[in-house]
Structure formats: C-alpha cells, structure tokens
Amino acid sequence: MEKQVEEIAAGHLAHVFSTCDATLAKAPIAFELACDWMKNKDPIRRRCGYSLIYELSKKRRTKELTDEFLLSVIDQIRNRFESEDTWERMAMAGALVGMGKRNKTLNKEALKVAKKMGPIDFNEGTGNCDPFDPVKHLTSDYLKKKLGLN
C-alpha cells in the first residue's frame, strides 16, 4: 500500500485509491492505515486516510469504529480543516458525510464541522461542477428519515 500511495499525484486519484468501493478499504489493515495516514505529514496520505474513514464508516461495524473513535476524527477535522488544501478538505468533508450518516450523535457533530467548513469549490476556476457541500448530504430528507431527525 505504501508503494502504491507513493505513485498518487492528484487529488482525485487519492479519492479513487481509497474509496469508490476500492480494494484498499476491504483490506484487513485498512483501519490501521487510515489511522496512520490521517496523522502523516504527506498530504496525499492524509487524503487517503480520511477517504478510508469515509469508506469504512459506510460499511464496517467493527470494534475499532466506535462512536468515540469517530468523534475523535471529527474533532481532528474541526481542528485542521482551515489549514489544509482543497483536496484534503474534500477528503475531510467526505469523511464527515460518511461518519454523519451512521447515527444521530455523529450526525450532529459532523454537521457542526460541516457548517463551519462550508461548500468546497474543487473546480479550480472551471465551474464545471457545483462545490461539494457536506451540509447538503448531512441534512438530506433521506438521512433525516433514516436517523429519525426532525
């Protein structure tokens, strides 16, 4: 995995490497990699770490992915997102969305950070896509119904 992540050079590649039902997220070491990479000095690894948290939060109900752990990741994002580049904020926002879809408590905390973060314009001036808005995903009618929020 370390050799493969060394070859990633662009924001979208980090996303595809770590999410989109990627093989990496299914590996037994995915959780440990996510924890290590979120703290890494290398921005590509941090993106992959947050993207792995997104992917793992969607699927895995394991002893490691406790609410306590995920709340600590939300706090880490709260404390770091302003100092990070667009692509890392995108990965962080994706992680917030994944975590915030798990239950009411995580939704509430993820939503607080997402509101501070705001929509993320990743178009680099092209205007081809709407900015990514984690608040929109965390407050969707579907999610409100699923989690019993109203």
Q: What is the DSSP string of the chain?
A: -HHHHHT--SHHHHHHHHSTT-HHHHSTTHHHHHHHHHT-SSHHHHHHHHHHHHHHHHH---SSS-HHHHHHHHHHHHHHGGGS-HHHHHHHHHHHHHHHTT-HHHHHHHHHHHHHH--B--STT---SPPB-HHHHHT-HHHHHHHT--
What is the domain count for the chain? 1
Residue 81 pLDDT > 90: yes
What digits encode the pLDDT tens for the residues 60-72? 667 889 999 999 9
pLDDT attached to residue 20: 54
Query: For residue 3, what are its two tokens?
Result: 């050799």
Q: Tell me what the pLDDT averaged over the chain comes to.
A: 83
Q: How many CB atoms lie within 10 A of CB 128?
A: 8
pLDDT attached to residue 97: 95
pLDDT classification of 8: cutoffs 50, 70, 90 = low
Query: pTM of the entire structure?
Result: 0.84
pLDDT classification of 3: cutoffs 50, 70, 90 = low
What digits encode the pLDDT tens for the residues 9-20? 554 545 545 555
Note down the domain range covering 135: 2-147
What digits encode the pLDDT tens for the residues 12-48? 545 545 555 566 677 788 899 899 989 999 888 888 8
